[in-house]
Structure 1
Amino acid sequence: MKYLNPVVRGFYPDPSICAANGKYYMVCSSMHIFPGVPLFESTDMVNWKQIGHCLTRASQIDLYSVRSSGGVFAPTIRYNNGRFYMVTTNDSYHQNFYVYTDDIYGEWSEPVIVDQDGIDPSLYFEDDTCYFISNGNDTDGRGCIQMCQIDIETGKKLSESKFLWHGTGGRFLEAPHIYKFGEYYYLLEAEGGTEYGHMVNYSRSKNIWGPYTPYPNNPVLTNRNLGGYQIQAAGHGDILEDNDGNWWFAHLAFRQIHMWQTYHHLGREVCLVPVKWRDDGWFEIGINGTTPIEVELPDNISFEPQNFSYNKTFENLDEKLDWCYIRIPHMENYKFDKNGLELKGTDITIDDVASPTFAGIRQTEFDLDINCDVIPGAEKSGISFYMDEKHHYEVIVEKNDSGIFVYSRQTIGCIWQESKHHKINADKVTLHIKSEAMQYHFFFKDENGNDVFISDAETRYLSSEVAGGFTGTIIGLFAVNEKGDGVSRFEKLSVKHEA
């Protein structure tokens, strides 16, 4: 049996996993994108289906004016006594909190605040005790992993925060999780920054408060020495034993656009590798301590074949699961139906640290063929490839007193450029984009259905290496009205990938 990494593709970073009721559940970071914390379910650990979000209400998370890549960092999901808990950080406000639910398919609670600093929080349950773990700094200002006991009903601290381990000396100590396997407590973490130097380390102790002894062969997982390999930044993740006694590590990584082009714009994705136990109580992760694209497993492990081909349309995209928004949306400006989407623009644009009228889906593959009909009513509307408010590309249909025009606009930091404006003698425009690993190609269709070239755009300028941040490209339909109140309609959307 073989499977391919990433197993969940596109902007789904910082995975955490748990098991409950014979199935497996996973959550990922969402940063300033709403709804917050995508939630997935699986029966075989390889194939994952999104079933919801943990943060679906503005009362649960304040994203109104957070910077790009602020907001929701690094969630952890845990199951205890019939209840699911998701703990995370609103990094923009330096606030750790958790929400909970007794129905994994239903709504989650209002936030419960925990007064411990740091980010990447995790929970560990043992008997009637709940431990709260995060990164932080010790009394000398050194990065460390810290822990306290909390009352899980109220979030109140029941002990002082105590530092457990300084890690192995790599930068940006993060992603702590504690487990008890046999007689040892294992403290897992990530270091090196969530970039090309990312790595996973761990230590163990017979006492949950330490002292912790490092694994002699740390880092236990890293792709940092695989120069030119497509999958990079293997790190931040979570361990799980499945129902058949197999052990797994789900973690983030990303795909760079070319062997010699060290850029990534799809975001940090979810990879999966096996965990192997040694006789001395230490464990190994991955294939020779790395994450490959193709993972071969023993015949006793079975799963459904992966299928990465798709054609996403208005008919099969789910309004609550697949679509996302920049910060907290004004839903009165959105009207979905089975055949299309109507967007009422406002004077907020994609350049603003606010919430423009923008409905997006995550870009999950390099190679895409995208088509959409735009019936312009708003002053400007079209398709956006959005990384953040300073790094995005648009194909724009503009309606003004002189007529209807189609053109592209590329915003890269403080620089922007527009292509030639093409006048359209019709009430509807079909936009066509061909996406490749290193370039986007923008077109519109003429009256005979032929492509008319608008411009090309390099994907690397939407990458994290250029833009910074922790997100990935989102394909968005948008509308803007700087003066009026027009509504644009989008129909016949097709986002197609052939694996």
Structure 2
Amino acid sequence: MKYTNPVIPGFYPDPSVCFANGKYYLAASTFQYFPGVALFESDDLVNWEQFGYALTRPEQVMLKNINSSGGVFAPTIRYNGGRFYMVTTNDTTHENFYVYTDDIYGEWSDPITVDQGGIDPSLYFEDGRVYFMSNGSDDEGKGGVVQCEIDIATGKKLTASKCIWQGSGGRYLESPHLYKIGEWYYLMAAEGGTEYGHMITLSRSKSVWGPFENCPSNPILTNRNKAPYIIQGIGHGDLVFDKSGNLFILSLGFRQIHMWMPYHNLGREVFLTPARLTDDGWIAAGLDGTTDESYEIAGDFAQKPIKEYTFASTDPGIDWCYLRTPDMADYTLTKEKYTLRGSSLTLDDVDSPTFIALRQRGFCFELCCDVGVTDGEGGITIYMDENEHYEIAVRKAADSYEAILRLNIGGIKHIQTAIPLEGSKARLCIEGDNLFYKFAVVSGDGSERRELGVGSTKYITSEVSGGFTGAMIGLYAVNGEAEFEGFALKYME
């Protein structure tokens, strides 16, 4: 069958995968959003369904007032002895920790910290021993991929931290994962930075402690010189064998908004690339060491399209997420209506405004929702971070109500349009494509449409805002209660 990349569209970066009980399970980064570490399952590596999060309790992860693109960095998910483990970094508190569960659909444990620095931690299990690795500096101050043996029950180090590989020469060595295939230990990592120079590199050794030799074909996977091409930034991958013994790499990557415009607004997404063992015992990926838009692989299953999002078709505990440390008493969420009670906090604050969001998962979409307020402001936002976001909203203005379009880019916060409303409720609509977001107020029967303005997608991108997240489609309220009904989000791709 033929599949198209990305296999998980939208802001789900740093994928890690394991196989257990006949299914594939995947974990992805969440940074300042809560709950933390999104979890997916699949029967075929192509169709993925999110079923929850690993960090669902505030005491599991400190997110209060953290900087955007801080918080929960790249996770690794592994399965051993009937138990799932997820190890990650809180980059704001500089802690590496793991949680575990015997029921991946249930709650995960409280965190267990490991006294080793760096980011992008990973676990490797073999013969009753557990090895913990990250990128950083070892106990002698040597930088690279650093490894120690730990007691998995307590997180206590059983050996000194030792640098086992310093990469192939690219900058920002990260995302180390260790595998045993045959007689070889393969150490795969990312280099080049998680931008346009991103790449996956490989080394191997016959000892878990090295020395590791570089693959002569490094990088084994990169799109850094594949131009002009929409798919860029391929890197930070994890290896997995499918049920038939075929090898694949699940990696992050991103799609430019246009072939000739190096901006990306959807965040770093999940791409699937076929791989194979070579005759000389190394690993090759893709048709030519790059990730393509589509591949033919064995199987008789079909790739499912992105679903349409309504309140009835989504689960607020799975599809939706919040900023940092939400007060759940401010949210009343049903299949018919979402009611948000807003404080004085706004989307400009590095805090937890009343905000609930979906990831933007495709370039082209249509979204409409009926929004009503009594006091304050409530609306829909296209949100990258506290500095870059667009919103269309209904707000109280003296003794009347108005619909507004506000564009926020860097330090510029500008109300583009404000039009009076006959009542306190309006149907707000957004149309998105690769280059623009178009904002409008539509009458209840759809017969009248009042355009409020346009925002360029390129200003809601990592190239403008910095950081590691992606565009979110959010509902918010400020200084009063807002009601949202008739929410309908449809993708055109």
TM-score normalised per structure 2: 0.98
Of 446-455 and 414-423, deviating more is 446-455
1:461 counterpart residue number? 459
Matches within 5 A, 1:128-167: 128-137=128-137, 143-167=143-167
2:485 counterpart residue number? 491
Partners of 2:252 and 2:377 lie apart in 1 by: 37
Pick one of 325, 328, 336 that aligns with 1:328. Answer: 325
Pick one of 470, 473, 478 that aligns with 2:471. Answer: 473
Q: CA deviation at 1:141?
A: 5.9
Q: CA deviation at 1:107?
A: 0.5
2:58 counterpart residue number? 58
Partners of 2:313 and 2:14 lie apart in 1 by: 27
2:205 counterpart residue number? 205
Partners of 1:350 and 1:309 lie apart in 2 by: 27
Amino acid of the structure 2 residue aligned with 1:494: A
Q: CA deviation at 1:371?
A: 0.2
Of 407-416 and 11-20, deviating more is 407-416
Q: How many residues align?
A: 492
Whether the 8 Å contact between 1:201 and 1:215 is mirrored in structure 2 is yes
Cα deviations by residue, 1:408-439 (Å, 9 ceiling, x for unpaired):
11111111211221000023200011001110
Whether the 8 Å contact between 2:369 and 2:429 is mirrored in structure 1 is yes
Matches within 5 A, 1:339-354: 339-354=336-351
Amino acid of the structure 2 residue aligned with 1:109: S
Partners of 1:105 and 1:422 lie apart in 2 by: 47
Partners of 1:76 and 1:361 lie apart in 2 by: 23
| 2:82 corresponds to 1:82 | yes
Partners of 2:243 and 2:444 lie apart in 1 by: 57
Whether the 8 Å contact between 2:143 and 2:163 is mirrored in structure 1 is no
Whether the 8 Å contact between 1:273 and 1:287 is mirrored in structure 2 is no
Partners of 1:134 and 1:354 lie apart in 2 by: 29
Partners of 2:80 and 2:6 lie apart in 1 by: 29
Q: CA deviation at 1:281?
A: 1.1
Partners of 2:123 and 2:306 lie apart in 1 by: 37
Matches within 5 A, 1:13-162: 13-137=13-137, 143-162=143-162
Partners of 1:77 and 1:215 lie apart in 2 by: 25
1:171 counterpart residue number? 171
Amino acid of the structure 1 residue aligned with 2:199: M
1:307 counterpart residue number? 304
SS at 1:465 equivalent: helix
Partners of 2:317 and 2:122 lie apart in 1 by: 27
Q: CA deviation at 1:487?
A: 1.4
SS at 1:287 equivalent: coil
SS at 1:121 equivalent: strand
Whether the 8 Å contact between 1:44 and 1:303 is mirrored in structure 2 is no
1:389 counterpart residue number? 386
Pick one of 430, 436, 439 that aligns with 2:433. Answer: 436
Distance 1:143 1:258, change over 3 A: farther
Partners of 1:469 and 1:143 lie apart in 2 by: 24
Whether the 8 Å contact between 2:267 and 2:470 is mirrored in structure 1 is yes
Q: CA deviation at 1:375?
A: 1.4
Amino acid of the structure 2 residue aligned with 1:55: L
Partners of 1:200 and 1:493 lie apart in 2 by: 40
Distance 1:338 1:110, change over 3 A: same
Q: CA deviation at 1:132?
A: 0.1
Amino acid of the structure 2 residue aligned with 1:228: P
Q: CA deviation at 1:447?
A: 6.3
SS at 1:235 equivalent: strand
Whether the 8 Å contact between 1:309 and 1:498 is mirrored in structure 2 is no
Q: CA deviation at 1:498?
A: 2.7
Partners of 1:415 and 1:228 lie apart in 2 by: 32
Cα deviations by residue, 1:93-131 (Å, 9 ceiling, x for unpaired):
110000000001100000000000000000000011000
Whether the 8 Å contact between 1:313 and 1:495 is mirrored in structure 2 is yes
Q: CA deviation at 1:378?
A: 3.7
Amino acid of the structure 2 residue aligned with 1:308: P
SS at 1:460 equivalent: helix
Partners of 1:324 and 1:51 lie apart in 2 by: 13
Cα deviations by residue, 1:13-38 (Å, 9 ceiling, x for unpaired):
00000000111100000000011000
Cα deviations by residue, 1:278-318 (Å, 9 ceiling, x for unpaired):
12211101221000001122xxx215211224321011111
1:231 counterpart residue number? 231
Whether the 8 Å contact between 1:121 and 1:134 is mirrored in structure 2 is yes
TM-score normalised per structure 1: 0.97
Q: CA deviation at 1:275?
A: 1.1
Q: CA deviation at 1:398?
A: 0.8
Cα deviations by residue, 1:131-168 (Å, 9 ceiling, x for unpaired):
00100135786640010000000000000000001101
Residue ranges of structure 2 left out of the alignment (5+ in a row) = none
Amino acid of the structure 1 residue aligned with 2:492: E
Of 105-114 and 446-455, deviating more is 446-455
Residue ranges of structure 1 left out of the alignment (5+ in a row) = none
Same amino acid, percent of matched pairs:
52
Partners of 1:412 and 1:245 lie apart in 2 by: 49
1:445 counterpart residue number? 442
CA RMSD of aligned residues (A): 1.2
Cα deviations by residue, 1:67-92 (Å, 9 ceiling, x for unpaired):
00000000000000000000000000
